[in-house]
Amino acid sequence: ESCLKCNDDYCNGITHPTVQRLKCIKCLGENCGEMLEDNSEFCEIFSTNETCISVFDANDLIIERGCSSSVTTKCAESNGLVCIECKINNCNVHKSIEEKNVCVSCSSLNDPSCVSNTDTPTIKSCKNDQCYSRLSPIGGNSLNQYVDKGCRTDLDSNYTCNDSVCKSCSGDLCNNVLYPSDRLSCLYCTKNDCNPNVSQKKVCKEYNSQNQACITIFNDKNEVNYRDCYADAMEGTKEICDSND
């Protein structure tokens, strides 16, 4: 047994424990057509047998999502309903009976966490268990690359995703990993926040296999003024570092 104490009125109306408790998308009826992560809730039952579930009718229309212990619709061959179950937080995003698997779907251009593994990835349902992670040029004069991830079936069928800039894998959310695996991590801070004990740790957002580095900029008093990944820094900052090479 365990106990949590709190000191405000009605403060004991909490979900406990939240660690290792499954969290699922919850909706019913017409609201399930456009499900959002805002509809995510912890399952009432704390059990290793708990799953997230998507329920489809005989016409392949989603009619309910939720935790398996609490959904009101029960699947059986006799009623023609089909249930797809999974055991990953918010994994019940399936859009059709065909899409039984899930992959991380993101781009580091608008989501920096896409480059690494995260506890709260954006998830997409897929027609098979093949996922991908890929590097693409950012564009312009930059030699840096960004990452996008998704279902292997989203790529052209003739595209070979098995080289230095694209990797495919098998299994639900198998692409929820640091990509590429040699991507650097650095401390990040600006000006007054550059105490080594409080600097943030970050995985470098942009990738350049030929020029990975962490940088530290000093002011005229020889005090640390800036820390970051070289690839993520502004061009003016890079020029300062390049001039010191």
Instruction: Identify whether the C-beta of residue 97 lies closer than 8 Å to the C-beta of residue 84.
Output: yes
How open is the CA angle 207-208-214, to the nearest 5 degrees?
Answer: 80
Cis peptide before 17 (omega within 30 of 0): yes
Sign for the pseudo-dihedral over CA of 37, 77, 98, 169: positive
Each residue of 133-174: pLDDT tens digit?
Answer: 999 998 866 789 999 999 999 999 888 899 999 999 999 999
- The number of C-alpha atoms within 13 Å of 203 and in the hemisphere containing its C-beta is 19
pTM of the model: 0.78
Give, as one character, the DSSP assignment of residue 237.
H
Residue 88 banded pLDDT, cuts 50, 70, 90: confident
Each residue of 201-220: pLDDT tens digit?
Answer: 899 999 988 889 999 998 88
Q: By CB neighbour count within 10 A (0-12 exposed, 13-18 middle, 19+ buried), where does 38 fall?
A: exposed
